[in-house]
Chains A and B, each alone.
Chain A
């Protein structure tokens, strides 16, 4: 079973999608084209930077130099506030005066019970499922300061299209994540290359932050952001989780 949120008659509702792609909401059924999928969470999203081995290796020499002086000792998290939430098929706006923006395909975990100071061994008990995330951003040239002006634009964090139950994914560290630009494959990566595994990330995060049911944590973004321009359609995909498509305007 896959969980979604839909907007019907102006009201946001929790719903499910079955194997035939039929939507079940409040005891009724509807075809996918009869409704609009909304972001699968209502919370600010926590993302992890620098968490693919390849990306980290590209930068680690620079991380020994000023202004960083030493490589990160902990996972590097950042926040995408609620104004960034967007759904499958929502449009993402490239600002005036900017030629291209960057995408970031991420595997996201969805927390389904209050998680505080969770140890790695317990982490999967707190994960309800998985979904896809696309971290839209203006080109980023520094990791020194929190990425607010580059990553917190309205709608710069599509999440969805649905939540796949945890039990349906045998190992979240064996997933291939792909980015397609106008239908053409631009990038693939494997979640086996995550530096901090999902249990390690959730343990590190919940050491200081209590996560509420519905919270979304994104595990990282592969090296080499895919650049997109107005009119482009970008799709991020993990076969077992579906695909999340957005068009740039």
Chain B
């Protein structure tokens, strides 16, 4: 089953999602994909992984890390399916990152790898954009690169864990304006989901709704205002996002307030 949070006529609703992305509310009414406003499906802590695909690490001229390179994302950065992200003015390089996200389903503390998948409730997608111009070698990737408003589309929905055969054998793709730009497979993850759950839950408690965004393969490229960016993971789904200019984003936000 796939579940999402959407806004319909100004009201936030928990819905189930059909294969054609139409949604069904608790009372049975249904809407097409483009008739609702999609919200991030969860709002727990998001742990993201840097350099977690060996080919991507090589692309950036790094060796794959010996330990997971973890960073955190803040809630301001999350938006739902089919929403707009902004490219800051006066930068050279804003790139997408297609990532499979494991959503924690029950409280996890000191969980071992062999039991770790019991703690996964489902999966979603994150497009973990980065503004490379703002990278600094302090707590890298720093917040200015990874925690900017609107730059982490998340969703569209959470698909139940048992609906996915093997999360470590899924094709992963990014399309910009319909053209395939990034392709990889979750087989190439350096640190896999059970390892990451053991690693994180060894020093902290993971709560239901917390998310682990597992990193991206090679194939990054700059995107510009006007671009449509779609990330897709086989069996899980596709997450659509539109790039707008800084001015367009803040003008629209001002009219919403």
Which residues of A line the B interface, CB within 8 A? 43-44, 46, 49-50, 67-70, 72-74, 76-79, 81-83, 95, 116-117, 143-149, 152-154, 205, 208-212
Contacts and interface: CB of A to CB of B under 8 A. Distances in A.
A74 B72 contact: no
Interface centre among B72, B139, B149, B205 (most CB of A within 10 A): B139
Say what secondary structure dominates the interface of chain A.
loop
B136 A154 contact: no
B64 interface: no
Given A79-B143, A83-B205, A146-B139, 18 more contacts: A43-B75, A46-B74, A46-B143, A50-B138, A67-B137, A79-B72, A79-B74, A81-B45, A83-B45, A148-B70, A149-B203, A153-B204, A208-B149, A209-B74, A209-B143, A209-B148, A212-B75, A212-B76
Contacts of A67: 137
Nearest to A150: B203
Interface in B224-257: 250
Nearest to B131: A208
B90 to A, nearest CB: 12
A50 B136 CA distance: 14
Contact of B70 (A50, A143, A146): A146
Contact of B144 (A74, A78, A144, A146): A74
B7 interface: no
Contacts of A79: 72, 74, 143, 147
B140 A154 contact: no
Given A67-B137, A82-B45, A145-B140, A208 B71 contact: no
A73 B136 contact: yes
Contacts of B134: 74
B136 A72 contact: yes
14 contacts: A44-B72, A46-B74, A74-B134, A76-B138, A117-B250, A144-B137, A144-B140, A146-B71, A148-B71, A205-B143, A208-B148, A208-B149, A209-B147, A212-B75
A12 B136 CA distance: 39
A69 B137 contact: yes
Given A148-B70, A208-B149, A76 B203 contact: no
